[in-house]
């Protein structure tokens, strides 16, 4: 970790006549330093005292600003050492041409690894049958994987795939293969549409162990159903991601009707 302590805040200052609280203004100043890369990952922040003196504000105000940025995952505190710029959240883009975790992550040059925790054949549960339009006696592949970025467990994902569509899927080793790439290359199945639900939840027992976080830690929970070009659901997944490491970005166009209402 570098020990560089930036001393100046070019062009930044706290406007005492603004109705914005000082801690909020300081948060924005620090955010801008990081966004502009003047402060980089691992850089140590000035001490609380230095912040107080530079901006002529109270220590409570400084702490409030820093606490908020630590909660957000932008800064990290090392006991007895100080406050540092945290490793950035990896950004997953959800757009028209990228569907999977590995597509998105490898595009950004991250070191990604996968651990296959389980791959088996099971009777589909009620909910999975609903999502995948299956009959009561139909079976699914159950694929549970843990995925790492730069050795940190980021994502726990359980995929369900109808057995009838994917002969011998359970003989494939997904340690070094993307699931979606396999669906395309081995089974000739293309994903044409995905339906996603996202929530912020607190880590339960399984997630606590596998993602190495404390109970109650904020996670992003995603349920996804993927459809092929005939609009038949071919995969359903549940995914838990560490909130401090993941961020999603996407765009959408708004249809024209709104212009007239």
Residues 104-123 that bind a copy of itself (CB under 8 A): 118, 120, 122-123
Residue 95 interacts with a copy of itself (CB under 8 A): yes or no = yes
Q: Which of residues 143-182 bind a copy of itself (CB under 8 A)?
A: none
Nearer to a copy of itself, 17 or 176 (CB): 17
> How far is Cα 187 from Cα 181, in angstroms, rounded to an integer?
9
Q: How far is the CB of 193 from a copy of itself (least distance, A)?
A: 5
Nearer to a copy of itself, 90 or 166 (CB): 90
* Pairing status of strand 218-228 against strand 191-202: antiparallel
Q: Please give the C-alpha separations between residue 140 and each of 40, 108, 137, in angstroms, as whole numbers.
A: 46, 32, 10
At 104, phi and psi to the nearest 5? Answer: -70, -40
Count of other CB atoms within 10 angstroms of residue 18: 10
Q: How far is the CB of 238 from a copy of itself (least distance, A)?
A: 10
Q: How far is the CB of 197 from a copy of itself (least distance, A)?
A: 5
Answer for the pair 167, 174: CB distance below 8 angstroms, yes or no: no
> How far is Cα 245 from Cα 234, in angstroms, rounded to an integer?
28
Nearer to a copy of itself, 3 or 121 (CB): 121
Among 7, 8, 15, 137, binds a copy of itself (CB under 8 A): 15
Nearer to a copy of itself, 179 or 219 (CB): 219
Among 7, 97, 176, 230, binds a copy of itself (CB under 8 A): 97
Among 2, 40, 71, 212, binds a copy of itself (CB under 8 A): 71
Residue 251 interacts with a copy of itself (CB under 8 A): yes or no = yes
Q: Which residue has the tokens 């006549």?
A: 17
Among 96, 109, 137, 171, binds a copy of itself (CB under 8 A): 96
Q: Which of 144, 142, 143, 154 is nearest to 113 (CA)?
A: 154
CA atoms within 13 A on the CB side of 215: 2
- Paired strand residues for 155: 147, 241
> How far is Cα 5 from Cα 123, in angstroms, rounded to an integer?
58
Q: Which of residues 19-58 bind a copy of itself (CB under 8 A)?
A: 19-20, 24-25, 28-29, 31-32, 35-36
Residue 12 interacts with a copy of itself (CB under 8 A): yes or no = yes
Q: Which of residues 197-226 bind a copy of itself (CB under 8 A)?
A: 197-206, 216-221
Q: Which stretch binds a copy of itself (CB under 8 A): 51-59, 159-167, 171-179, 185-193?
A: 185-193
Residue 68 interacts with a copy of itself (CB under 8 A): yes or no = yes
Q: Which of 71, 59, 62, 57 is nearest to 27 (CA)?
A: 62
């Amino acid at each position: 970790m570098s020990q560089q302590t930036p001393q100046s805040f070019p062009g930044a200052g706290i406007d005492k006549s603004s109705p914005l609280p000082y801690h909020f203004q300081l948060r924005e100043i620090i955010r801008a330093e990081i966004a502009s890369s003047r402060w980089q990952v691992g850089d140590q922040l000035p001490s609380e005292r230095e912040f107080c003196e530079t901006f002529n504000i109270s220590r409570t105000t400084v702490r409030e600003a820093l606490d908020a940025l630590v909660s957000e995952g932008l800064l990290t505190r090392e006991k007895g050492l100080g406050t540092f710029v945290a490793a950035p959240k990896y950004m997953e883009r959800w757009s028209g041409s990228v569907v999977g975790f590995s597509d998105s992550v490898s595009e950004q040059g991250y070191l990604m690894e996968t651990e296959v925790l389980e791959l088996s054949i099971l009777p589909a549960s009620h909910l999975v049958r609903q999502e995948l339009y299956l009959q009561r006696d139909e079976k699914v592949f159950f694929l549970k994987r843990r995925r790492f970025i730069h050795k940190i467990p980021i994502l726990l994902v359980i995929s369900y795939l109808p057995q009838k569509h994917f002969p011998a899927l359970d003989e494939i080793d997904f340690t070094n293969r993307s699931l979606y790439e396999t669906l395309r290359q081995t089974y000739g199945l293309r994903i044409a549409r995905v339906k996603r639900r996202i929530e912020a939840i607190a880590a339960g027992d399984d997630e606590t162990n596998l993602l190495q976080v404390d109970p109650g830690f904020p996670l992003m929970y995603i349920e996804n159903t993927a459809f092929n070009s005939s609009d038949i659901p071919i995969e359903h997944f549940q995914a838990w991601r560490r909130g401090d490491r993941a961020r999603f970005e996407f765009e959408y166009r708004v249809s024209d009707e709104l212009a007239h209402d």
